[in-house]
Amino acid sequence: MGITERKLREKEKRKVTIIDAAEKIFFEQGFIEATMDEIANQAELSKGTLYTYFKNKEELFIAIAERAGQIFHEEALASICDKQSGYDKFRAILDSNTQCYFKYPNYFKLIALSNKYIGSLIKGPESIERLKKIEEHFYIEMLKAVESGIQDKTMSYVDNAMSYVMIISILQHQLLSFLAENGEMLKLMYNYEEQEIIDYANKIFFGEIAPPKK
């Protein structure tokens, strides 16, 4: 291994260490309350070294969001590998996202808390573009599944694949973000389990609960 390659690997390893440290601090304190000083201490690096890799918390948040997005995308792809119909693929992707919610709750909690402030904190065009790409990977897989479902007649009731996917993805995202922030309250006050709410929402999404046909 050459010196240049070794330095690149060390640099990438240090970057991962910083992101790991930022995750821990963000998960424990939330994005707003966390400080770069605390992240540097957690990573066991000087503040100057930290700023060499990430200029601010915004960049660290996006790096964590990209990590989460990659995990969710890989889980979604794995969920459809043995599915044949467009309907089964689309449902598998939504189910995969739900499973990720329970498997990686801290990512959803961080996103839910940050959604309140993200518009005022994430302003740079490059940052916004990176966040858009995270959503696009998931959205494209859903769109491909629905278009396949329209073609194979398993989702023939959909007359506009793009609008359908956009609405369903927004509704699921908002539901999971809401549960991430308020799930415990719903359980304590109304005896509702998160899985129960998600299952019922899926029935609505897929038309399993609908007015009787006249």
**What ranges do the domains of the chain cover?**
1-55, 58-205
Angstrom CA distances, 46 to 2, 10, 39, 53, 82, stand at: 27, 16, 10, 11, 48
Mean pLDDT computed over 68-76 = 93
More confident residue, 85 or 117: 85
Percent of the chain with pLDDT over 90: 55
pLDDT at 116: 62
Measure the CA–CA gap between 206 and 133, rounded to whole angstroms.
26
Q: The whole model's pTM is what? A: 0.85
Tell me the CATH number of domain 1-55, given options 2.60.40.420, 1.10.1060.10, 1.10.10.60, 3.50.50.100.
Answer: 1.10.10.60
- Tell me, what DSSP letter sits at residue 211? P
Q: Read off φ and ψ for residue 63, nearest 5 degrees.
A: -60, -40
Select the highest-mean-pLDDT range: 1-15, 73-87, 110-124: 73-87
Q: Identify the weakest region by mean pLDDT among 11-15, 78-82, 176-180.
A: 176-180
pLDDT of 115 above 70: no
pLDDT given at position 1: 65
